[in-house]
Chains A and B, each alone.
Chain A
Amino acid sequence: MSLSSASSTLLRTCARQQLPTARASVASCQRRGVADAKSSFESPFASANERGSTLKIPNFSKYSSGNSPRSNQVFSYFMAGSLGLATAVGAKATVQDFLVNMSASADVLAQAKVELSLGAIPEGKNVIIKWRGKPVFIRHRTQDEISEARDAKWEGLRDPQADEDRVQRPEWLVMLGVCTHLGCVPIGEAGDFGGWFCPCHGSHYDISGRIRKGPAPLNLEVPQYSFPEDEVLVIG
């Protein structure tokens, strides 16, 4: 059926371009198209049987699959799916590498924490250590200082914050030693409120590190810290 329609298409094409040189072959083409429409395709322009002819239609039957169409289909879908799998894994690894590249490296993480033993700090003493390039105040507070910090009327302060929110253990006050005004380092056990006093512009902090007087807008910042053991403090 398709062969015969192909033949008639050819016939029409032949009829349109009847060049004098091609007339003979056209005639043969017409004859053949009518006579044996069921036989295999042969070019009307040259005989495929001629020696050196480039018009031979090769036989592809040895390349055709012997399997069922469904298994061929499954194979090609499997290959497409495997390519998708490899792409997904590769894309995920690429993105992950870029993101990991941006996160802090192990040596930076190792320096980001400071550990110190609290047993060496007597009651009522300040210790200043360096953490991430900034001073950190650690005060071992006495009972009087704790009760003073707890009993203060903190609701009316400039930066109202309860002492319970600023310390994990009431006897240990840990905070960044950077004045919240312009970044000076306050002096310990000084000022009008028995806490810290910033010499640059005269900010007074109380025994919980809260701003009481002077230009500073906020309380001294409390860093992240923890007590992994009883006598060990880890900042960071």
Chain B
Amino acid sequence: MAGSISNVIYQTFIRRNAVFLTTIFASAFAFELAFDTTSNKIWDSVNRGRQWKDIKYRYLNKDEEEEE
């Protein structure tokens, strides 16, 4: 069972070096995206209420012109 799964993985991803490298870079891209999103979410939840985007409404609801 385990042998057949590892065989399938081997034949699909590892056997050809080009496929192996492509897999590595594609998953590096996906990993970076996921890592950045997750760490940003953690940062925002730890610093909730303290960042400019959280308190912006207090200062900018009167005049919209000073947005930038």
Decide: B23 and A81 in contact? CB cutoff 8 A.
yes
Residue of B nearest to A81 (CB): B24
Q: Which chain B residues (11-64) contact chain A, with CB distance < 8 Å?
A: 14, 20-21, 23-25, 27-28, 31-32, 35
CB pair B24–A74 under 8 Å, yes or no, is no
B3, B21, B28: the one within 8 Å of A68 (CB):
B3
* Cα distance, A68 to B2, chains bound together (Å): 8
Asked if A85 contacts B28 (CB within 8 A), the reply is yes
Name which residue of chain A comes closest to B14, CB basis.
A77
Interface size (B, Cβ < 8 Å)? Answer: 19
A16 part of interface (Cβ distance < 8 Å): no
For A75, list chain B residues within 8 Å (CB).
Answer: 6
Residues of B within 8 A of A84 (CB): 21, 24, 28
Contact partners of A85 in chain B: CB under 8 A: 24, 27-28, 31
Identify whether the interface residues of B are mostly helix, strand, loop, or mixed: helix
A76-92 contacts to B (CB < 8 Å): 77, 81, 84-85, 88-89, 92
Contacts of B3 in A (CB 8 A): 67-68, 70-71
* Contact (Cβ within 8 A) B31 A70: no
Does A120 interact with chain B (Cβ within 8 Å)?
no
Chain A window 84-109, contacts with chain B (Cβ cutoff 8 Å), 1 for yes, 0 for no: 11001100110000000000000000
Q: Does A61 contact B (CB under 8 A)?
A: no
16 contacts between A and B (CB under 8 A): A67-B3, A71-B3, A71-B5, A73-B14, A74-B14, A77-B14, A77-B20, A81-B14, A84-B24, A84-B28, A85-B27, A88-B24, A89-B28, A89-B31, A89-B35, A93-B32
Which residues of B does A touch, CB under 8 Å?
A: 2-3, 5-7, 9-10, 14, 20-21, 23-25, 27-28, 31-32, 35, 68
Given A68-B6, A84-B24, A88-B25, 9 other A-B residues pairs in contact with their CB atoms under 8 A:
A67-B3, A68-B3, A71-B6, A77-B10, A81-B14, A84-B28, A85-B27, A88-B24, A88-B28
